[in-house]
Structure 1
Amino acid sequence: MLADEGERRAQAGTLDSEVHLPGEWMNALIGFIGSVLPGWRDDPRRPAQTSEDALTAQLCAKLASASRHTPGWDFLQFRREEPDAADGRRAIDLAVAPSGSVIWIEGREYTEYQTLLPIECKRLPTPKGHKRDEREYLYSRFSTTGGVQRFKAGHHGSSHDRAAMIAYVQERDIPSWAVQLDDWIDGLESDAVEGWSAADKLSLLEYDPPSRVAGLSSAHARSSGLGGIRLVHLWIEM
């Protein structure tokens, strides 16, 4: 999903300890992650879970296994609760990093100690609770726990210009949530919430009803003198 199958096959084969990849390779990586989602959700051996932490731990295990057994992706590792490179007090839900290789993308070096792609995971809808904002996938009025909010503020991925978010859709369907998020962003703009505008809206790129998985994209200006960041959103109906 979100990547050409031929591009993925082109990476297959024995890898040297130093790998040079084109910039668009990141699209193939995100496509690989999206392709794993339906099989993970539908795996009869997967224990039933609803919490974000438990689902993300399961998904991390599935991605690690899938990459290890898929030619062309076996030089990657997936890690949970990885300290952010710029602010070690904050943890990234999922991080993709090299495993046993040094990867170069557009002149930038990544070792097993550097994150290739930071990923934030959220539930839709946001669980009800004290000081929980229903818009938490985007923004929270109570804290800095909003998913997109964290990237816009540079709290996550400040050293990256690209990141991803995964939504575990536990009620309603994906198209209705795409409309809902548009409405929330309109509300943030009309309420003059600093830094939010219609430019932050997500674009639905691809929705596959049989697999109940979708890909969306968004682009956001950031504060603190950082350049913009592009987010790819992978949503799966649970």
Structure 2
Amino acid sequence: MLADDGLSQIQSGSITKSFFIESASLFKLIEFITDELPRWRDRPERKPVASETVLTSNFCAHMNSATHNSKWDYIQFRTEEPDDVTPGRKIDLVPAPKACVVWIDGKQHYDFDPLLPIECKRLPTPSGAKRDKMEYLHSRHSSTGGVARFKEGHHGASHKLGAMIGFIQEETILPWEKKLSHWTDVLVRAKKIGWLGTDRIVLSKHDTALKLGVLRSCHARTGTLGSIELRHLWVEMH
């Protein structure tokens, strides 16, 4: 019966379909994610939740729908994925190949392999005994600092590009850019190990109508990892 259904060529454990993309295409993928943020936020059926975990999970579900019938239909999104170098660490959101192999600069990526590590943070940081107002950058109380995780190689050690999504729940994009710039200066003046003025996050695109911003930063990393570039995708949730 299998031969009658045209399934006799299937090989157990094999994924044969391949996509060859340039590393620069990851920036296009980030653009796709950015464009979907306001569409997701404004969906009437989306429940108005505040929890970072629920927001990330809901956005992941939206992205898996958005890829359908798009040029990114070979991509899936997953949440709370183990880091591919430090499995004890979990990445908030990752795009990965779906039913195919994706080749980037001669390296194979299977459905097990994240194409891009994405950290998600609420702005402002929720209150709590072990929470830090500067947690988007660095936490004095734990290893939950967003940018710090990338700088220290806890997230994305095998990647040269990463992203962070900022769910802005109070104020707007421009005041947050100023706050994070100030906090970077605070860390530099305090001589926090590894922090430099070059770690500053800079606004590159701002759509006031969509309440959406894209920012950029580049960070030296510990050891022999080399630098990592981050794209910061901020969406005002109110």
**Which TM-score applies when normalising by structure 1?**
0.92
Match of 2:140, as an amino acid?
R
Q: Which whole-Å deviations, capped at 9, do the CAs of 1:182-231 have from their partners, x for residues lacking one?
A: 00000000000000011100110100000001101100000132111000
Q: Which position in structure 1 is the counterpart of 2:150?
A: 151
Aligned to 1:124: 123
Counterparts of 2:160 and 2:50 in 1: how far apart (Å)? 31
Q: CA deviation at 1:76?
A: 0.2
Which residue in the other structure is 1:218 paired with?
Answer: 217
Query: What is the letter of the counterpart of residue 43 of structure 2?
Result: D
- Aligned residues: CA RMSD: 0.9
**In the TM superposition, what is the alpha-carbon distance from 1:131 to its structure 2 partner?**
1.5
Cα offset, 1:159, TM superposition: 0.7
Q: How does 1:198-217 map to 2 (within 5 A)?
A: 198-217=197-216
* 1:113-155, Cα deviation, whole Å (9 max, x unpaired): 1110010000000011102110000000111100000000000
**SS of equivalent to 1:46:** coil
**Which structure 1 residue ranges, 4+ long, deviate > 6 Å from structure 2?**
none
- The higher radius of gyration belongs to 2
Cα distance in structure 2, aligned partners of 1:115 and 1:88: 12
Q: Please tell me whether residue 21 in structure 1 is matched to residue 17 in structure 2.
A: no
> Alignment partner of 1:117: what SS?
coil
Superposition map of 1:9-158 within 5 A:
17-70=17-70, 72-158=71-157
Q: What one-letter code is carried by the residue in structure 2 that aligns with 1:35?
A: D
SS at match of 1:177: helix
Amino acid at match of 1:148: V
Quote the Cα distance in structure 1 between the aligned partners of 2:235 and 2:174.
11
Higher mean C-alpha displacement, 143-152 vs 16-25: 16-25
Alignment partner of 2:26: what SS? helix
**Pair 1:228 & 2:227 matched:** yes
Deviations 1:59-102 (A, max 9, x none): 000001101232x1100000010000111111000011000111
CA distance in 2, matches of 1:43, 1:223: 41
Distance, in Å, in 1 between the alignment partners of 2:23 and 2:125 is: 34
Residues in 1 aligned to 2:118 and 2:23: alpha-carbon distance in whole angstroms:
18
Q: Size of the alignment, in residue pairs? A: 222
Q: Per the alignment, in what secondary structure is the counterpart of residue 88 of structure 1?
A: coil
1:10 maps to: none
Structure 2's unaligned 5+ residue stretches are 1-15
CA distance in 2, matches of 1:102, 1:214: 32
TM-score when scaled to structure 2?
0.92
Gaps of 5+ in 1: 1-15
SS at match of 2:132: coil
